[in-house]
Amino acid sequence: MLALKPYLTAQGISQAELGRAIELSPATIAQLLNHGQWPKSIDCNELKGRITEALADRNIVVDATLFETIPAVDAAAPELNEEAIDMLMRKQTLSPATKKHFNLFRNPFDDDVNDAEDVYSSPSIRYVREYMHSTAKLGGFLAIVGESGAGKSTLRKDLEDRLMRESASIILIQPYVLGMEDNDKKGKTLKSASIADAIINTVAPNERPKSSMEAKSRQLHKILKDSHASGFKHCLIIEEAHALNVQTLKHLKRFLELEIGFKKLLSIILIGQTELKTKLSERSPEVREVVQRCELVELSPLDAQLEDYLRFKFKRVGTELETIIDKDATDAIRARLIFTKSTKTNRETISLMYPLMVNNLITGAMNQAAELGLPKVTGDLIREA
């Protein structure tokens, strides 16, 4: 099948939707995505351009690797299993014996990023990085959504590092979200007053926030105006945004509308798991005014970029992918991390090939290879890990 197929699934786009957008029949689009059979009636490059343009209209980036063929998920593919997913998400660490066995002096999957060069960047990740950077510099309202371990926090750190390297006159405001939940039964909700406090304390640390919300709002607006007059821009970043309650999401529109003349004083970036996408659904009337103003971008899995990602990781620690992992092991990784989910009407393909999952799966297999004295990680080890 084309790598484009699981990518579309991750973005929440059906084959039928894409077919309508590029004017292809359901049968033709099915043959293309499921079997890699390009229609003879349309030039291949022209069709790729139509697909790219149609998805660009939804702010979804398409790179050449998505038009490559990858192993299809067959009828024997495992059903989505929450317990199995939990197992794959548990942190795995290379043992000292494994490092010695593979002649490694560092763990290629450790989170020891020192600069931007240490961050893997596929075409789609580069797109998200640039989108975040543009929002911070030029203004806007952006939501970054991804599964656990997809690299969301890394993108936030990358933005912060980049703005510092550029000496950009942009103040990042990042409210603490420790214990934040979307209702007060589970934890503490992040309310608008707390966001206002975070903005005041970051932009004007010597000022004490006013007690009443009315006075605090006036104080906040004046602080942002004064800071803007001094040449600064301001970007509010909220991580774990899937835990924001609906009322606070609605209030973010009002923060976005703080302005001086035609100039917006605050841009907003939300970073959260896939539940945030549900909360920002166009079908949710409570947040329709927010949805109309917020651009949503979803991080895609590593389906087509798996080998490229692993090659980057191993190169960071001074070795080559081929000296550690057999070719059949990457196919086995896809088979382990691409699931199916049955509904009443169809059978949906779901890819969990995100960095955290891939890292844990390979780390476990490498430890097993060292214990067994095998020179490389094989497909059998991946299937058993």
Beta-strand pair 259-260/338-342:
unpaired
Residue 288 and residue 151 share a domain = yes
Residue 357 and residue 326 share a domain = yes
* The pLDDT of residue 113: 73
* The pLDDT of residue 80: 53
Domain around 272: 123-298
Q: Answer yes or no: are the C-beta atoms of 297 and 1 closer than 8 Å.
A: no
Q: How far apart are CA 146 and CA 131, in angstroms?
A: 15
Residue 160 and residue 82 share a domain = no
pLDDT at 230 over 80: yes
Give the range with max mean pLDDT: 39-43, 72-76, 281-285, 304-308: 304-308
Question: DSSP secondary-structure letter at 266?
Answer: -
CATH for 65: 1.10.260
> 10 Å Cβ neighbour count for 210?
16
Which neighbouring-strand residues pair with 342?
347
Of 284, 192, 200, the closest CA to residue 238 belongs to: 192
The SS3 call for residue 241 is helix
Q: Which of 280, 298, 316 is the last residue of a domain?
A: 298
Q: Answer yes or no: are the C-beta atoms of 77 and 352 closer than 8 Å.
A: no
Q: Which of 248, 267, 298 is the last residue of a domain?
A: 298
Percent of the chain with pLDDT over 90: 45
Comparing 75-79, 233-237, 294-298, 336-340, the range with the smallest average pLDDT is: 75-79
Q: Which two tokens stand for residue 155?
A: 């993108």
- Any idea of the CA torsion for 361, 123, 175, 270, to the nearest 10 degrees? -100
Residue 353 and residue 291 share a domain = no
Reported pTM = 0.77
Q: Which two tokens stand for residue 292?
A: 């109309």
Comparing 79-83, 142-146, 277-281, 291-295, the range with the smallest average pLDDT is: 79-83
CATH for 257: 3.40.50.300
Residue 284 and residue 144 share a domain = yes
246 CB contacts (<8 Å, ≥6 apart)? 182, 279, 286, 287
Question: DSSP secondary-structure letter at 118?
Answer: G
Q: How far apart are CA 189 and CA 243, in angstroms?
A: 8
pLDDT in tens, 182-211: 777 677 888 999 999 999 999 999 999 999
Quick one: average pLDDT of 14-21? Answer: 82
Question: DSSP secondary-structure letter at 175?
Answer: -
Work out whether the CA dihedral 203, 204, 208, 213 comes out positive or negative.
Answer: negative
Residue 175 and residue 284 share a domain = yes
* The pLDDT of residue 75: 44
pLDDT in tens, 135-186: 999 999 999 998 888 889 889 999 999 999 999 999 999 998 877 777 776 7
Q: Which of 253, 276, 298 is the last residue of a domain?
A: 298
The SS3 call for residue 143 is strand
φ/ψ bin of 13: left (φ > 0), alpha (ψ from -120 to 50), beta (otherwise): beta
Q: How far apart are CA 252 and CA 164, in angstroms?
A: 26
